[in-house]
Structure 1
Amino acid sequence: QSERRKKILDFISTLDYSRQQTDFITRRQEGTGKWLLQSNEFLKWVNESQRTFLCPGIPGAGKTIMSSMVVDTLNKQFADNGDVAITYVYCSYQTQQEQRPEDLLASILRQLIQRQADVPRHIDNLYENCKTKKITRLTMDDIMANLGLTIRLYSKVYIVVDALDEYHATDHENTKELLSRVFTLVNLQPVNLFTTTRHVPEITSLFDGYAVVKEIRAQDDDLYQYVDAVIPKLLRGTISRNASDLKDTVREQVVKAADGMFLLARLHMESLMSWLTPGHLKRALKTLPKELDGTYTQALQRIEDQEQGAREPAKRLLAWITYAKRELTIPEIRHALAVGSDVDMKDFNADFLLEVDILTSICAGLVTVDQESKTIRLIHYTTQEYFKRTSMFPKEREGIAATCISYLSFDVFNSSMYDEITDKLERYPLYGYVAHNWGYHYSEAAEEGLGHKVLDFLLCEEKVASCGQVFLSQDYDTRYNWPRRRTENRPLQGFVDPKPMVAMHFGAYFGLFKEVRVLISKGYDVEPPGKSYRTPLSWASERGHDTVV
């Protein structure tokens, strides 16, 4: 029964935001946020029905942490009330592929089902019907209809949607559709909506007439609490003994410079940690930037001032996180940096692996590790925006493509034996990512010297076949390009064909015109016979690669 329940839940949605919730709430500074949670507007929203609460705020004000506090508050308040359900969605600039309106609404449906002791009958019937008809994805109509039926099992449902602006950045029309669907639920069902966003007129205007609006802005009292908690670590050793009056100065200057932004306060405290004497600390306090760009510039300068052994991996790490196609796990990023140290290595050399605490220490506070999901990411959405807007790390970005090609070209992948692939994914954690994304990074690179390495890879039938097995593997959610959780020791759930893809497939899929032309000149068939998957022509056509077609 439990196995069937899990299959049904995974069919509805594989998205799970519980790890983000745990990570965000653990970063909350104790005692902060009361100005919102104890406000009349919030309490009224909690106690009434069919209400929408919009909280816009400037970048770095603490909107996501506040959302996690709202979820935590509701969970605690209704812990013993099975008739009330709390659901939540954390939009993210790094998970753009999984943020269609259907995906987010299906995740909410999954959460509602999870809170039931047994799978509701209408959901069980839906699953059986789809299974019989071999339907693998629910339509929007199916999701909305079953959301309505499932919501009726509760006396009230709360929906918390964080960072609508990060969702909006990927698709404006989808933002309108998502909100339209959620507003329908609020209007027709016992549903309350809480959402956060930056001040984006295209978003906030959609709430006109629907929502109570209260701006999120870090209050000085909350900022003082945060600074007070970090000061003991800052005023250590020699500084503490020689500057007993420095605490008040740090408190006042950091809070003043932060000006309503928790993110700035955090970055400022991180920057002050690098000074070892009261004199240097006092001087630094006088030049604290009052805006994010200046703070990021200072942080990058601290990285540049490090020795080469720390500076180079720090810049490669920041480039990888900035330009990766999804969030990277800790093992993935460690392998990426290790290969980046020597892109000509023939097999992986563990001697180049960096420890996680080193990775976080060399990046001037610009990266953070999510202990729940074991991923590593930039400290904030604005960090990535700054890096991309200023075209930061051009050399390191080129190196991402080189690393991908080098990884795929390891001698160990010169075999497509089916059983071996499972072991390779365990031993080479970056393999799944590069198998799915190497073509994107190569297409974005301007380095001409990579062309011959790409052709060397494409002309090696066994390495291409090995890559193809992982590319088509069901262990990777093909919708989201994300490895599925492996809950037991089981063989790779992929295609039985040991050689499901050839070079022409990859050339067509990624739109590699030059490489496809070379392959054709060498006699490669444009429609390889006997393969168990799609033809190269159909892929090139569907993905809009007209020159390849």
Structure 2
Amino acid sequence: MDVVGTIASVVDLSTKLYAYIQNVEDAPKNISRLCTEISTLKGILEDIESRRPSTNDAPTSALDSSLDNASSIVTQLLQQLSKGESSFKRKLRYLKWPFTEKDVAQDTERLSRANQSLMLALIGELQSVPQDLIEIQATSQATLQKVENIEDMILGETVKRETKEQFEARRSIIKFLAPASPDERHREVCHAWRVSDPGAWFLDGAFKTWMEDSDPTSRVMLLCGSSGSGKSTLLSRVVEHQKHKVGADMTAYFYCVYNKVETQEVRNVLGSWAVQLSPPLPKALDGFQEEASKAAPVLIAHLQDLITDLAYASPSVLLVLDALNESNEAGELAANIASIVNRSRNVRLLISSTSEGLLTARGCTCKRIDMIPAQIAQDVEVYVRQKVREHPALEPEDEDKIVEIIVPKSNGMFMWAKYQMEYLSSIPIADQVIEALDDLPSNLDDEYTFRLQRLLQLPKFWQRLVREALVWLSYSLRPLRIDELAEAVAYSFGLKQFGKRSRLPRPMDLLDMCQGLVRLDAVTGIVSLAHSSVVTFLESDTIRSTSATYFAMDEDRDERALLQKCLSYLQMDAFQIGSGCSRHDIRSFFREYPLLHYAGNMWAIHARQFAIAYRLTQSELQLILDLFASQKMESGGHFAFWIRTILPHTPIEIIKRAQPLYYASSYGLAQVVDEMFSRGLVDKTNPEAKWYLDAKSGRYSSTALQVAAYRGQVETVEILLDHGANPHFTDENGNTSIEWASMRGHEEIHRLLLQATRNQEGP
């Protein structure tokens, strides 16, 4: 990623545009918006330049790709502008303006979309900044000053200042609407087919026919197939095809990922689509500025409205969604898809899933395309031939022999073929490669069984750690780094001390022991299962009938183990420091205890999911209440330390006044709130009590009822009202629970609060 080179190109482009504006009579008037987009690009580059990478940050190909795209557009504009100059460098008054009005409009839109893509890539980084930026800090600062000087000439100081403000406002709205970026997953999937062009049977067949049909029987196409059949690959090919096709439909895409909870939420899917559709109408996002400034969750209905409005600005729109079945809100997401299609006649949706039921159950008819083995075989063959040609020992006559074995046996399972070719590629001797063809597993289940059976040959210690690793990678709510995973598997529930002698000295050994079932992304440093089909097999009945049954998983049992371990980890002796932990100290704790960030930020989300789906056990409730009880210590104990982990930059005064009931209500832990009242832990009458019902807490000095109303926690609000919580109290902003429920669009909560008010006032 050459940030300096791109900045230099922006300088050159700005200089040439200024020359044309000043000296060419036929330069179009709408050039000012093009200048604004160039200035916005400068702002983004300035933002990149100003970041200071830490030693833990990994390079990002998503940002590289977005920057390359922007750089390419700038280069093309420069080349076009250069055509207006003679080879003899005639004076400026003889320059010819090389663009038509239509050219300027199109190029402005392209640059606007490139800027939008860059901002999305930046937001998706989660504090990950390219390492090579360290080398460009000094150089880019001087170059950026040149850009600013050119901006002054082109736009003037006032417009320049307004452009900067617009850029910051736009970026904050984009971050608010689209906190989950699809770029990283898209990069991963595209990387898998970089040496081939799979999916021609789909792109040039069913997809092309459907897109060219002006009145299709259904504007929703469902790509249906089992896990591991290559659905994500096909959808990524569609996205890339649309990106590079002249005159293609406006396209927005998203991937639901099994171990990234933020990618599974309806709000984030719709928000990302909306942001990607916004470049032609950037002002359409302005209506969300107030909500973004308050960090108030946007209403899903408003996102639907926004997508509908943006769709009208384009002749046709294609929305792409991969792995609907991976969303924990799949039913609601399917209902929203049906609604969008019904409201917007020019919108089509391409979706992949393992079944059709999620859509049809919501009244959404779709054109179903099944992943038929005979069609997938074409892609498998291309892939196999490419891998054979890369093998240094194999000869041309070996190619057909390997293809004749691998392709038919794959039976439409691309992942199976991939595993076999990885195995064959690891064999250095040609004759042994051919011999190995006789002993390949017959299907994907057999492949996973074979790998797990090999794990049974390891010492019991390693078997336990590998199983723990598979559990964490299957049920964690966000991706884990290798140091986090190593800490998670080495820590044992109930330990009060955990140091160097208890940890794995070489975390990478864990990956080596996992028999290819997990992989490390060298770019992001994230560990994940090799494919989502791994967890599908681990949860299946099939594994329970094999000798590898030790590794079989049960979502209820094993995710509970994660919750319990997180709560136990947070209550180690080292974390009893409570409110004595400063903002600086917490950074040191995060470095010394790699699992701390996950345990602190995710245990309550795990607990809420269990409270909804299965109910928390008494032992789990006790673990939570033990954590809360430490708040009564002078230092605030483990509870105050936990608050510091989730609010690392919060002033100490807020940490000290933190209330367990407030945070249980904020997270919607209704069962925990109910248990606190059942045990008589909350005082309903004495404002001086340690745990008072209407005690003020949080950053805005709110009551438990106010934060529950703010967050939309219906069941929690009901419990608090039943126990006498006061709906009239105000926070430091002067808002009551009723006002927050109204402002946030929580209609059911608003109704409950109004009814409670009437009941208190009497007849």
Q: Same fold (TM over 0.5)?
A: yes
- Report whether the alignment pairs 1:419 with 2:583: yes
Contact 2:335–2:359 (8 Å) recurs in 1:
no
Please point out which of 221, 224, 228 is paired with 2:381: 224
Is 2:492 aligned against 1:492?
no
CA distance in 1, matches of 2:651, 2:259: 26
2:145 matched residue in structure 1: none
The residue type paired with residue 460 of structure 1 is: S
Q: Which runs of no fewer than 5 residues in structure 2 stay unpaired?
A: 1-164, 542-550, 632-636, 683-688, 724-763
Q: Which residue is equivalent to 2:415?
A: 263
- CA–CA separation in structure 2 for the residues paired with 1:179 and 1:4: 29
| Closer, same or farther: CA 530–56 of 1 in aligned 2, 3 Å | closer
8 Å Cα contact 1:336/1:430 also seen in 2 = yes
The change in CA–CA distance for 1:467 and 1:306 in structure 2 (over 3 A counts) is same
Pairing 1:386–2:537 present? yes
CA deviation after TM superposition for structure 1 residue 39, in Å = 1.8
- What CA deviation, in whole Å up to 9, does each residue of 1:81-110 have, x standing for no partner? 6x9532101123334565344432221111
Residue among 442, 447, 465 paired with 2:640: 465
Q: Does 1:196 align with 2:352?
A: yes
Matched letter for residue 315 of structure 1:
R
Task: Indicate whether 1:409 and 2:578 are aligned.
Answer: no
- Corresponding position of 1:484: none
Q: Using the alignment, how far apart are the partners of 1:20 and 1:73 within structure 2?
A: 17
What's the counterpart of residue 403 of structure 2? Answer: 251
Are 2:507 and 1:367 equivalent residues in the alignment?
Answer: no
Partner AA of 2:236 in structure 1: S
Q: Is the 8 A contact 2:223 2:351 kept in 1?
A: yes
Following superposition, the deviation at residue 386 of structure 1 comes to 2.4
**What is the CA distance between 1:226 and its match in structure 2?**
2.3
Contact 1:504 1:519 in 2 (8 A): no
Contact preservation (8 Å) 1:398, 1:447: no
Tell me the equivalent position of 1:306.
458
What is the CA–CA distance in structure 2 between the aligned matches of 1:515 and 1:284, rounded to whole Å? 62
* Equivalent-residue separation in structure 2 for 1:464 and 1:209 (angstroms): 50
Q: Which runs of 5+ in 1 are unaligned?
A: 474-490
Matching residue's letter, 1:111: Q
Q: Which residue of 2 aligns with 1:137?
A: 297
Q: Secondary structure at the match of 1:498?
A: helix
Q: Distance in 1 between matches of 2:459 and 2:399?
A: 31
For 1:81-480, list aligned pairs within 5 A: 85-96=250-261, 99-113=264-278, 115-116=279-280, 120-124=282-286, 126-128=287-289, 130=291, 136-167=296-327, 170-171=328-329, 173-184=331-342, 186-187=344-345, 189=346, 191-203=347-359, 211=367, 213=369, 215=371, 217=373, 219-231=376-388, 249-270=401-422, 285-307=437-459, 310-339=462-491, 344=495, 346-349=497-500, 352=503, 358-370=509-521, 374-389=525-540, 392=552, 400-401=562-563, 403-413=565-575, 414-416=577-579, 417-420=581-584, 423-424=587-588, 426-427=590-591, 428-438=593-603, 457-461=627-631, 462-471=637-646, 473=647
Whether the 8 Å CA contact 1:45–1:192 is kept in 2: the answer is no
Q: Structure 1 or 2: larger helix share?
A: 2
Whole-angstrom CA distance in 2 between matches of 1:258 and 1:365: 18
Q: Percent identity?
A: 19
Change (3 A) 1:293 1:222: same
Quote the Cα distance in structure 2 between the aligned partners of 1:397 and 1:122.
Answer: 41
Query: Contact 1:87 / 1:160 at 8 angstroms: preserved in 2?
Result: yes
**What amino acid is the match of 1:69?**
R
Answering whether residue 708 of structure 2 is matched by residue 531 of structure 1, we say no
Query: What residue is the counterpart of 1:67 in the other structure?
Result: 235
User: Deviation digits for residues 368-394 of structure 1, max 9, x if unmatched?
Assistant: 344565433223333222223457257
TM-align CA RMSD? 4.6
Residue 423 of structure 1 aligns to which amino acid in structure 2?
R
Please give the alpha-carbon distance, in whole angstroms, between the structure 2 residues aligned to 1:209 and 1:459: 52
Alpha-carbon distance between aligned partners in 1 of 2:429 and 2:355, rounded to the nearest angstrom: 40
Structure 1 residue identity aligned to 2:491: V
Determine the structure 2 residue equivalent to 1:486. none
Are the aligned partners of 2:182 and 2:254 in contact in 1 as well (CA < 8 Å)? yes
Deviation track 1:292-339 (CA, whole Å, cap 9, x = no partner) reads: 333222221122223556544322211101122333344532432343
Larger Rg: 2
1:13 aligns with 2:163: no
> Kindly tell me: are residues 422 and 227 of structure 1, through their superposed partners in 2, closer, same or farther at Cα, counting changes over 3 Å?
same
The one-letter amino acid of 2:597's match is G
d(CA) in 2 for partners of 1:299 and 1:9? 43
Shift in Å, 1:517: 7.4
What is the Cα deviation at residue 25 of structure 1? 0.5
From the superposition, tell whether residues 214 and 517 of structure 1 become closer, same or farther in structure 2 (CA, over 3 Å): closer
Displacement after TM superposition at 1:186 (Å): 4.6
Partner letter of residue 415 of structure 1?
G
Give the residue type in structure 2 aligned to 1:466. Answer: F
- SS at 2:654's partner residue? coil
Are the equivalent residues in 2 in contact too, given 1:465–1:498 (CA < 8 A)? yes
Deviation string 1:429-452 (CA, Å, 9 cap, x unpaired) is 532321243367687999999998
Determine if contact 1:186/1:193 at 8 Å carries over to the other structure: no
Normalising by structure 2, what TM-score? 0.56
Secondary structure of 1:21 counterpart: helix
Give the aligned length.
512
1:476 matched to which residue of 2? none
Instruction: Report 1 or 2 for greater relative contact order, CA contacts < 8 Å, sequence distance ≥ 6.
Output: 1
Q: CA deviation at 1:62?
A: 0.4
Number of the residue aligned with 1:479: none
Paired residues of 1:347 and 1:411 also in contact (CA < 8 A): no
Query: Which residue does the alignment assign to 2:245?
Result: 77
Question: C-alpha separation between the residues in 1 aligned to 2:678 and 2:364?
Answer: 54
Measured in 1, the distance between the counterparts of 2:569 and 2:364 equals: 51
Tell me the alpha carbon deviations over residues 491-521 of structure 1, each in whole angstroms, 9 at most, x when there is no partner.
7268960135455667783745889878949
Distance 1:216 1:107, change over 3 A: farther
Q: Which moved more, 1:320-329 or 1:443-452?
A: 443-452
For residues 328 and 173 of structure 1, what CA distance do their matches in structure 2 show?
27
More deviation, 493-502/510-519? 510-519
CA distance in 1, matches of 2:501, 2:242: 46
Q: Does the 8 A contact of 2:473 with 2:529 survive in 1?
A: yes
| Contact 1:165/1:203 (<8 A) preserved | no
TM-aligned CA deviation for residue 17 of structure 1: 0.6
Question: How far does residue 44 in structure 1 lie from its aligned partner after superposition?
Answer: 3.9
Given residue 179 of structure 1, which amino acid in structure 2 is its aligned partner?
Answer: I
Equivalent residue letter for 1:177: A
Q: CA deviation at 1:171?
A: 4.5
Residues 161-181 of structure 1 show CA distances to partners (whole Å, capped at 9, x for unaligned) of 1122333xx446414412212
Aligned residue identity for 2:354: R
Query: Given the superposition, is the C-alpha separation of residues 361 and 66 from structure 1 closer, same or farther in structure 2, using an over 3 Å criterion?
Result: farther
Over 3 Å counting, the alpha-carbon distance change for 1:280 and 1:393 in structure 2 is farther
1: CA distance, partners of 2:232 / 2:245? 20
Q: Is the 8 A contact 1:92 1:166 kept in 2?
A: yes
Which residue number corresponds to residue 487 of structure 1? none
Structure 1 residues 223 and 8, CA gap change in structure 2 (3 angstroms): same
Q: Judging changes above 3 Å, is the alpha-carbon distance between structure 1 residues 289 and 182 closer, same or farther for their aligned structure 2 residues?
A: farther
Determine if contact 1:469/1:494 at 8 Å carries over to the other structure.
no
